[in-house]
Amino acid sequence: MDRIRIGGGRILTGAIPISGAKNAALPLMIASLLTRETLTLHNVPRLSDVRLLMRILGNHGIDAAISGKRIGQSEESGETITLCARDIVDTTAPYELVSRMRASFWVIAPLLARMGEARVSLPGGCAIGTRPVDLLLMALEKLGVEIEIDGGYAVARAPKGLIGGEIDFPKVTVGGTHVALMAAVMAKGETTIINAAREPEIVDLAECLTKMGAKIEGAGTERIVIEGVPRLDGAHHHVLPDRIETGTYAMAVAMTGGDVLLEGARRDLLDSALAALEGTGAHIAQEEAGLRIKRNGGGILPVDITTEPFPGFPTDLQAQFMALMTRAEGNSRIHETIFENRFMHVQELARLGAKISLDGDVAVVEGRRKLKGAQVMATDLRASVSLVIAGLAAQGETVVNRVYHLDRGFEALEKKLARCGADIERLSGEK
């Protein structure tokens, strides 16, 4: 199993190319099930989750191909993948595959839209809270789907086809909104989604579906109206930049000090997180080539945050911000409102010398701590990268174990940081 070794104490200077967003690429790939034609996605990040989803889609009969390198592309340019679901040969998504990646449950919507039936394993427990799918199933039922739970599978049928309806989410859900959109685009008549998620990845999916011929209004607001169409065509779509990767590197620079250009990054995708970072004393400027983040000399100021659905502070940057706050010149309060149990990184940060007390969904981080390198364990995707950020500022050597969590969501993490002067390397295949 690979590990990552970090020698702390270096400042970061240079440029980091920001990859396409994992959380947009996954639903976009799933949307290819909606058409017999080819969907071509550009700027797809090289991540293990993307590879796994290609396998899952292959199981339903999709032909997937990764295009070779083109003139002017570097190893950091995103990939172009083509997906063609001419014939769907299998409407079952088995436990072995779905249990490895929650988002693959979302195939249920296009399978129903194309085939009128789907049998998809329930994703099961997850390290960051219960993460149920009740709201996803509720959305489908509103569109005329009959669902039974049988042997750990959601067995869904739309005997009369999908029929437009009103879906009112009692809680904002990204996955629920993706599923509702993908089910509604080919349903008969009009569908209204109320209290929809407003995340940029929802807008990206809606834009791609629109290029494929869907009729969608209001994506990016809390009310989306979809007029069903009988069929969708192929399209070309460029995946938007990853706002979580952007925020992660911005926090790394705020932690170590320095000056880094995050190439291709867009401020409008993560305004609230950047505002919090500015509160800590970092300087952020949008330039034509991307976002520049600087912190010189001065200390890190403490800032309280509360995670919220977009446009609020994203839960996927909470762990990274907590790492930063361990070095602040005072105490800060971090309130997690999206996922229960999303504080597993607290124990590992403590191994580096952080002092954080937990009270339900609030963490109080004691600042002014000197961090000291240690062996730590990655527990989930975002938690593990918070350990990398802490390691960059710790004295001595930090080794992050179980880095396969990082490979699910961060492309070439150690290379990108090393380019900016970090002392970081991957130790391959060692224990």
Binding site for ligand UD1 (CB under 6 A): 23, 26, 102-103, 129, 131-136, 171, 173-176, 201, 315-316, 338-339
- Is 126 one of the catalytic residues? yes
Cα–Cα dist 182/414, whole Å: 36
What are the residues whose beta carbons fall under 8 Å from the beta carbon of 119, sequence distance 6 or more? Answer: 91, 92, 93, 153, 154, 155, 156
* DSSP 8-state secondary structure symbol assigned to residue 385: H
Judge residue 299's burial from the number of C-beta atoms within 10 Å of its C-beta, 0-12 exposed, 13-18 middle, 19 or more buried: middle
Selection from 393, 409, 403 nearest residue 425 by Cα: 403
> Between residues 129 and 189, which has the closer beta carbon with respect to ligand UD1?
129
The CB-of-327 to ligand UD1 minimum distance in angstroms stands at: 25
Judged by CB, which is closer to ligand UD1: 164, or 309?
Answer: 309
Neighbours of 86 (CB within 10 A): 12
Cβ nearer to ligand UD1, comparing 257 with 310: 310
DSSP 8-state symbol, 53: H
C-beta of 281: minimal distance to ligand UD1 in Å? 27
CB 15 within 8 A of CB 263: yes
Q: Which of 84, 126, 208, 420 is catalytic?
A: 126
CB of 159 to ligand UD1, least distance (A): 24
Q: Measure Cα distances from 397 to 4, 5, 98, 368, 400 in Å.
A: 10, 7, 37, 20, 10
Residues 6+ apart with CB under 8 A from 327: 255, 300, 367, 368, 369, 371, 393
Q: Residue 147 CB, nearest distance to ligand UD1 (Å)?
A: 12
Nearer to ligand UD1, 12 or 26 (CB): 26
Min dist. Cβ of residue 388 to ligand UD1 (A): 18
Nearer residue to ligand UD1 within complex by CB, 327 or 342: 342
The Cα–Cα gap between 225 and 219 comes to 8
Contacts of 308 (CB under 8 A, 6+ apart): 272, 337, 338
Give the active site residues: 126
